[in-house]
Amino acid sequence: MSSIDPKSLLPASIAARVSALTVKEGRAIAVIDAAGLGDSERAEIERAVTDILSARDEISQVHVAMTAERVQRRLIAVGSGKGGVGKSTLTANLAIALAGRGRKVGLVDADIYGPSQPVILGNQGSKPVARDEKLVPVESAFGIPVLSMGHLVEPGRALAWRGPMAGNALSQLVDAHWGDVDTLLVDLPPGTGDVQLTMLQRFKPIGAVLVSTPQDLALIDAARAGQLFDQAGVPVIGLVENMAGYACPHCGELSDPFGKGGVETAAARLDLPFLGRIPLDLAIREGSDRGKPPAADEGALGSPFHEIAAKVDAWIGENS
């Protein structure tokens, strides 16, 4: 092959990433710049290079080395003090909206005992595979890779795990093959228990988003969650008020079954940013149950999530 540049055998898109390609005594060694590529893209390029070069009579062995700078991955926790306030719905839609703004986003469903992200993101029943003793995240139709206990256990099966087991499960979900993901959202279980403590000790987030409904009881618990992050030195990016306002589908009259403005008032009292409010809307719940998060569309339902994502995205840019 002395008269032929081996790079010329490769498609232009792959050749542009070849840092070095040598052929000596029947052995080809290709060094590929894999910066910005996900696991599937790396595997596809490696397979293409191997197949093309192996087809040459004078090449008996092909070795492909992928090089790239290590991805600086940031974790953002999404928490609440109380269950049932829409934290998982916010996390999924926030992930989709941040990805739409150019972030490479992954999602960890750390609610070990009540995982719901496989349903919201529409990949329930999919199973992650393991490579090199680490899990490979499950892809979703929205370009958000996700790992959840809901992918690892049978639907509806109860988990009776003590704290250390739950903590180890979280570690397996976070310390996985996330590829080029640079922003990992962690959907925490409600409260301030073992999973939260494990995350703060092993995988300290750069910031946290707190979710609450407007009523006083939920706000009290949200304040406790905020105190936990404060004690751990994790800044609170801001507060989100969920289930804020309900429009009657028949007459259009607005009502506030859970109160109004409580989270915004609490944010001002605690000197924390208020990120926005999400209405109590049946279509949001139906979309989540069907695996069609509203942030994936350009309609009015997705607008509050995109507005919140814009503020979180700006905070990331200022604090990275």
How many angstroms from the chain centroid is the CA of residue 309?
13
Handedness of CA 176, 102, 274, 91 (dihedral sign): negative
207 appears as a binding residue in the annotation: no
Residue 83 assigned ligand-binding role: yes
Q: Is 87 annotated as a binding residue?
A: yes
86 is in an annotated binding site: yes
Looking at the chain, the number of H-run helices and the number of E-run strands are 10, 14
For residue 185, what are its two tokens? 């959202």
Residue 38 annotated in ligand binding: no
Main-chain dihedrals φ then ψ at residue 24, nearest 5 degrees: -145, 125
85 in a labelled binding site: yes
* Separation of alpha carbons 106 and 181, rounded Å: 6
Angle of CA points 224, 228, 231, to nearest 5°: 130
Q: How far apart are CA 134 and CA 131, in angstroms?
A: 5
What's CA 5's distance to the chain center, in Å?
A: 42
Does 179 appear as a known binding residue? no
Helix or strand (DSSP H, E) at 170: helix 163-174
CA distance 112 to 199: 13
Phi, psi of 33 (to 5 degrees): -80, 110
Binding-site residue ranges for ATP? 81-88
* Bind-site residues: 81-88
